[in-house]
Amino acid sequence: MAPWMALAWLWLLATVISLVSGVVMALVCWAVGASFSEVRFHLGPPLFFLRIRGVKWSFGLLNIGTSVTFEALGIRRDGSDNNSFLQLPLPLRLIVHLSTVAGMLLLAVVCLSPERGLAAFTSGFEQVVNVFLARERVTAFFALLRTEGFWPALGMLSAKLAALNLLPLPPLTGYLMLRELWRGIFKPQIRSDAVPAWGTLLVLMLFLGWGYGLYEGLARPYSREPGLGAMFREAKRLIGSAAEP
């Protein structure tokens, strides 16, 4: 598969996952009574948008990730913004945050099977942070796309992204849920929604590792030259053999 075609397929898969998770989140918000003004299916500036029943649905070139803007209800005493989401009780706020991950997991189960989808999800926690094997896993993913087709690849990627979003790293869903729990239990006087710099750095390093793995996997998927994963395993073997008496 040519690199440009592989990137086009990857963009299409990510767009479908973003649309499904965003629609699920919007439906959950409606169900729990959290009114919102905009749903974004992209990162960066939008390319176009639609208005449906007073809600702005915006789309961009990087259709990765979904976010919702809730209707403002004024300013709190501490100076922070107040909105319909913050009026919800803690369990409902956790459900809203979890809805995007639930949408991804639901898509994985539908495209694969309940057993295979859940297995791909649980194994994804280790796989998404192990960037040393990114090249090998990128190659395996596009091999899956070639051999099994669009729907299994969509389900597999959706399961891995669901696991990624549950990591306790800002601004991922896992971190947002922990923050809601901390606020609900300890009720701090100052409520800051700023993303910590350490979280941004860790997520950036994670994405850079997978970006490099994507480049390696597409540029030379069958090259004999070792990638980072093979080099890492070889270094462990050499260190282990040197430690032997």
The tens digit of pLDDT for each residue in 103-158 reads: 999 999 999 999 999 999 999 999 999 999 999 999 999 999 999 999 999 999 99
Q: How confident is the model at residue 50 (pLDDT cuts 50, 70, 90)?
A: very high
- The pLDDT value recorded for residue 43 is 83
Distance in angstroms (rounded) separating the CA atoms of residues 104 and 158: 5
pLDDT at 20 over 80: yes
- The more confident residue out of 136 and 75 is 136
Mean pLDDT of all residues belonging to the chain: 85
- The pLDDT value recorded for residue 53 is 83
- The pLDDT value recorded for residue 245 is 46
pLDDT at 208 over 90: yes
- The more confident residue out of 48 and 220 is 48
- Sketch the domain layout of the chain as residue ranges: 3-243
Residues 171-190, mean pLDDT to the nearest whole number: 85
CB-CB neighbours of 160 under 10 Å: 21
Residues forming beta bridges with residue 74, ordered by sequence position:
82
- The pLDDT value recorded for residue 97 is 93
Distance in angstroms (rounded) separating the CA atoms of residues 203 and 238: 30
- The pLDDT value recorded for residue 224 is 46
Residues in the chain: 245
- The more confident residue out of 73 and 8 is 8
Q: How confident is the model at residue 232 (pLDDT cuts 50, 70, 90)?
A: low
Burial 47-65 (b: 16+ CB within 10 A, else e): eeeeeeeebebbbbeebbb
- The pLDDT value recorded for residue 170 is 87
Beta strand 67-70 pairing with 36-40: antiparallel
Residues 197-201, mean pLDDT to the nearest whole number: 83
- The pLDDT value recorded for residue 83 is 79
pLDDT at 220 over 90: no
- Please say whether the beta carbons of 24 and 103 come within 8 A: yes
Residues 16-38, mean pLDDT to the nearest whole number: 92
